[in-house]
Structure 1
Amino acid sequence: MALVWAIIVLSSLPLLLAQPQDCASRLPGAIDSSTVGKLKGKWYLTASADASSSGQELISLIQAAYIFLYPNPAGNKITTRTYTTMRSTCIHNLNHLSIQRINNTTFWTERELLNLLLPLTANLEENFVLVFSPDSKQHRGLVLYGRKPTVSKEQREALQVPLNCLGLQGQEVYYTQGQDECKKQAKEDEDREKEERGTTETDKVPR
């Protein structure tokens, strides 16, 4: 299960749709090559839900998690640095992913799996939703990312729409509120990247 990230969700009438991609029509704004640049920077994993019992068990172990996103100027590739604290241990990864547009919906590809990118609100710079295994009702999972480590009342309410249209209504939603054990690693990676960027810029200067 690709998702490594409690409150019982009480939903209104189901909004089940024929395809999970149709969630895009239920949500404001859009994520495409012209707006994907707004995803740049640090995002906190604030909430997650999963249709499978194994996925639920896994995400219940998440104490803290965040991701750094670096889309390329063309908007067709994105570099990710992820930091997850589980059982008081830091797990960190670097990935280079492709961004695809299929039927007016945006995905990023990780290990040949399509993960669906959806806006949560009209302000894409504040939050977005990532859907894992969108075409599998048994293994579908959802993650909410925000610029802040906590979820606002408005975001919790807005989250009901993707939960419902993805068939995850009634599932337990897990909110990450634990101790972050990745601060040191994230700082070391950031310092190293700054040093590498500085070296690259120096190399470009005519001598």
Structure 2
Amino acid sequence: MALPWILTVLSLLPLFEAQNPANVSITAMPITNATLNWLAGKWFYIGSAFRNPEYKQAAEQIQAAFFYFYPNLTEDTILLREYQTMEDRCVYNSSQLRVQRKNGTLSKLEGDKEHFAHLKLLEDPRSFMLAFQPEDEKNLGLSFYADSPDVSQEQIGEFQKAVISVGMKKSEIMYTDWKKDLCGPLQRQPELREMKAEEEKP
């Protein structure tokens, strides 16, 4: 089962003091309104390292991906609109994420199962990570996101150090290839006015 929100979201994190990625703590911090406002906008899925077979298989299918976050501060939800290039075609999805402010996590309900992501901020405020099942060595995973597909070596280095810090290897990282993106020419950024109108409907 593909979990695109995890890989292109799947993005998501609280605004808290940036930590040394060589000594990353996966413990989530509380999410505030400032966090949600910071998350609003466009993000790109850069890469991930997964040991969970289900998540790893989903990541292997994604050639390139980007998404838009539209937080609802009163309902503690985020409208997610994502564009993924998979098997040489563009796939569009729209869904809703739940915000657990106290736990510092975001989640998505798929069927009868709810998937949770722990949010982490890197030193560079233009990028972030999310961690999955950090307490389970056999199934843990990290994903990396940035506000541009053209990430620097410093940004990539931060993510690689974070992967190593949780006991994984750089060889386990899978990166996307923006040159293979087929969604950019097709997508139109949703208007904020339309999103707000939808959120205000009874």
Is 1:158 aligned to 2:158, yes or no?
A: yes
Query: Considering only aligned residues, what root-mean-square deviation do their CA atoms show, in Å?
Result: 3.2
1:133-152 alignment runs, 5 A limit = 133-152=133-152
Output one character per residue of 1:114-167: Cα deviation in whole Å (capped at 9) or x when no partner: 1111111252xx111122334433232221111111221111121134313433
2:117 matched residue in structure 1: 115
| TM-score for the superposition, normalised by structure 2 | 0.71
Preserved CA contact (<8 Å) 1:97 1:108: yes
| TM-score for the superposition, normalised by structure 1 | 0.70
Count of residues in correspondence between the two structures: 177
1:94/1:156 CA distance change after superposition, 3 Å: same
Kindly state the Cα deviation for residue 43 of structure 1 after the two structures are TM-superposed.
Answer: 0.3
- What percent identity do the matched residue pairs reach? 30
Name the CA distance, whole Å, in 2 between partners of 1:129 and 1:52. Answer: 17
Kindly state the Cα deviation for residue 184 of structure 1 after the two structures are TM-superposed.
Answer: 5.2
1:27 matched residue in structure 2: none
1:21 matched residue in structure 2: 27
1:163/1:179 CA distance change after superposition, 3 Å: same
1:184/1:194 CA distance change after superposition, 3 Å: farther
Kindly state the Cα deviation for residue 110 of structure 1 after the two structures are TM-superposed.
Answer: 0.7
The code of the aligned residue for 2:108 comes to E
Preserved CA contact (<8 Å) 2:43 2:66: yes
1:68-147 alignment runs, 5 A limit = 68-74=68-74, 76-102=76-102, 105-111=103-109, 112-121=114-123, 123=125, 126-147=126-147
Name the CA distance, whole Å, in 1 between partners of 2:76 and 2:153. Answer: 33
Name the CA distance, whole Å, in 1 between partners of 2:31 and 2:161. Answer: 17
Secondary structure, counterpart of 2:162 in structure 1: helix
Is 1:39 aligned to 2:33, yes or no?
A: no
1:133/1:2 CA distance change after superposition, 3 Å: farther
Preserved CA contact (<8 Å) 1:37 1:75: no
1:196/1:53 CA distance change after superposition, 3 Å: closer
Work out which of the two has the higher radius of gyration on C-alpha atoms and give 1 or 2: 1
1:32/1:138 CA distance change after superposition, 3 Å: farther
Output one character per residue of 1:53-90: Cα deviation in whole Å (capped at 9) or x when no partner: 55444423321101101112348221111111111122
1:59/1:197 CA distance change after superposition, 3 Å: closer
Q: Unaligned 5+ residue runs, structure 1?
A: 6-13, 25-29, 201-207
1:144/1:75 CA distance change after superposition, 3 Å: farther
Secondary structure, counterpart of 1:182 in structure 2: coil
Preserved CA contact (<8 Å) 2:36 2:71: yes
The code of the aligned residue for 1:120 comes to L
Secondary structure, counterpart of 2:182 in structure 1: coil
Preserved CA contact (<8 Å) 2:72 2:78: yes
Secondary structure, counterpart of 2:120 in structure 1: strand
